[in-house]
Structures are given as structure tokens and as C-alpha cells.
Amino acid sequence: MCDMIGTSLMYVGLNLTNPSSFQMLRGAVIVFVALLSMAFLRRQIVLRMWAGIFFVIFGLCVVGYSDFAASNHDSSNELIGDLIIVGAQIITATQMVYEEKYVNTKNIPPLQAVGWEGFFGLLVTLLMLIPFYFIHVPSTFQNNPRGVLEDLPEAFVQIAHNALLMVPLLGTIVSIAFFNFAGISVTKELSATTRMVLDSVRTVVIWGASLSLKWMTFHALQIPGFLLLILGMCLYNNLLPAPRTLVRCCDRRTDDLLIVTEESPERQ
């Protein structure tokens, strides 16, 4: 349910704001996952990891600003869309933390978890398509002849008249299945925060593919933005060889602070 609600809210927010704001605000999920992991999973986030999270979010902001500065998008609904996207990140972070706790405490195989999530999501989606077929919404949220939220019969008609539509449809099904399986595997073996940090790097792949297909224009600020993104990921996962001494020092200082905090009540 968290996945469906969070994804739906993000698409609603995307319709109200611009893609650059959407991309920037999606980076907030890393902070929410880190905070929820500390609160409910008792996970330790050391200074090195916080620095990596900061660079990831800063890199996303630079990339988003490069698109925003070159766009002429102007809408009074942008603020509402941005708030909806931020709210969706809290729901997504809740899902990530819950998945980490569930697959670890119950020792659920990642493939089994993805299968049950997919089955439940398919069942709920099919049921929701019935009322969506009768709900009329403004043109901002639909693009079909009947003007409704979802028009499943129209989708089947379009596929019947153009069989090539099955290619991206099947590609989406397969790629999302592997994506969720890999995500839950990372969550189980490492952590939900690591999953979100790695997930943010797919922006680089999307950017490269969009440029090669000429779906977007190149902006100079995108290069330092993506470099900051990769730097943050490497710093979070301790992949940078140069500052390892400083990294160990930061980790040790954080550990000492935690030990002192835990021992102080006993001394009292």
C-alpha cells in the first residue's frame, strides 16, 4: 500500500510541478529513510554517511536547478505539487524501512517478497480501476477521450491498433520486477538507506539515455551535479581511498559519542 500511495502521490505532484522540482524533491527520501532507520531500526548513521547523503541531495538540487533555470514553466499549482511530492517521500521512506525490518526479522527471500508485493499490488490496482473508470478529472490528470482518471478499455483498443505498444509495456513489467528484486536484496543485505543512495544514481543513466536519444538538451550545470551525486554515493559506501583516515576518525568519534551516551545513565 505504501508503494502504491507514494507512487500515485508522486505522479499527482509531477502533474502540478515541473520535472526538475520532482527530481530534486525525490532526493529527500534519503533523509527520511535515514531518520526512520535511526528511530525504528536503531541503525547507526555515522558522520561519513551523513556527508554522503548531503552530497547526494546537493547534487540532485544542482541537476534540478539546471533544468529549472532553462525552463519557462509557470504555474500557481507548483507549490502544491512540491508539497505532495515531499509527502510522498515520507510514505516511500516508511515502505523502505518496513521492508528492511520485515525481510530481516522474518528472513523472507527477496524474490518471495517481490512476488507477494506484486500480487497484492495487481489485485488492488485491478479493483481501483473500476471506480477510476467513472471518475472525471481535469485535463491536468488525464489524456483520454472520456476525460476520466483511468480508461482501461481505451488502453486495450490502443494496444490492439498498435502492437508496438506491447514492447515498452512488457519492458516496463520486466524491468520493474528486476528493479524491485534488486532493491529488496540490497535492503536485506545492507540497509534501506544504502538502497536509496544507490537508487539516486540511476538519474545519471536516465540523463545519459535522454541525451543520446535527444529527448533533452545539455546544460553545463548537470556535469558538476552528477559528479556530486557520484561523490556522495562513494563517500556513503566508503569507496574513496584518499580520505579513509579522516573517515575512520569520523566513524570512531561517532562511536565514542554513542558509547558515552549509552554509559551515562548507568553512571547516574
Decide which of 108 and 263 is more confident: 108
CB–CB of 178/170 below 8 Å? Answer: no
Beta bridge partners of 148: 136
Best-predicted range by mean pLDDT (31-45, 160-174, 220-234): 160-174
Q: CB of 222 within 8 A of CB of 210?
A: no
- The total domain count for the chain is 1
Give the domain range for residue 15.
2-237
Contact predicate 251/46, CB 8 Å: yes
Do the domain assignments include residue 13? yes
Instruction: Say yes or no to pLDDT of 69 above 90.
Output: no
Q: With 80 as the cut, is the pLDDT of residue 64 above it?
A: no
In a domain, 137, yes or no: yes
Q: Is residue 256 part of a domain?
A: no
Assess if residue 43 is contained within a domain: yes
161 burial type by CB count under 10 A (0-12 exposed, 13-18 middle, 19+ buried) = exposed
* Per-residue pLDDT band at 167 (split at 50, 70, 90): very high
Q: Let me know if residue 143 belongs to a domain.
A: yes
Query: Within a domain: residue 50?
Result: yes
Tell whether 266 is covered by a domain.
no
H-type alpha helices, the chain: 2-16, 19-26, 28-40, 47-70, 78-105, 110-132, 152-161, 166-189, 192-200, 202-212, 222-236, 244-267
Residue 263 lies in a domain: no
